[in-house]
Amino acid sequence: MPDIISAIAQIISAISFAWFGMYALLSESMVAEFNRYRLARFRVLTGVLQVAGSLGIIAGHFHRPILLLSAGGLTAMMFLGVITRVRIKDPLSAALPAFALGVLNLFIFVAAL
């Protein structure tokens, strides 16, 4: 049963980060958001790392070290996202998606140990 739950978590994470990464790379609204965060210079890097993390979660299904690296990196990125939202004084509800994805990837990381 835990393997099924971990596999479902990996699927959710991979799809979510592929979507958000492409959105960060291609969406004009994300250009404005990263300007608002005062992190415009990191938008492309963030998108690329999210897409790479998504691919790493998929590859990690077959090679555990890649899963650990990807899930750990995405966890760290999402907790930095929460800190960014707090820093710019967004409502806590705006940080909820990053928090949830951070917890999801922390679960994947711990389950893979």
Residue 46 pLDDT > 90, yes or no?
Answer: yes
Q: Is the dihedral of CA 88, 38, 30, 14 positive or negative?
A: negative
Structure tokens at 99: 């928090």
Residue 49 pLDDT > 90, yes or no?
Answer: yes
**pLDDT tens digit sequence for 11-40:** 999 999 999 999 999 999 999 999 999 999
Question: So what's the pLDDT on residue 62?
Answer: 93
Q: How far is CA 98 from the centre of its chain?
A: 7
Range of the domain at 62: 2-112
Round to whole Å and give the CA distance between 31 and 111. 35
Total domains present in the chain: 1
For tokens 């995405």, name the residue. 74
**pLDDT tens digit sequence for 52-80:** 999 999 999 899 999 999 999 999 999 99
Q: Residue 1 — very low, low, confident or very high, per pLDDT cuts 50/70/90?
A: low
Residue 88 pLDDT > 80, yes or no?
Answer: yes
Q: Residue 102 — very low, low, confident or very high, per pLDDT cuts 50/70/90?
A: very high
Runs of H (alpha helix) within 1-113: 2-26, 28-36, 43-60, 64-87, 92-112
Residue 89 pLDDT > 90, yes or no?
Answer: yes
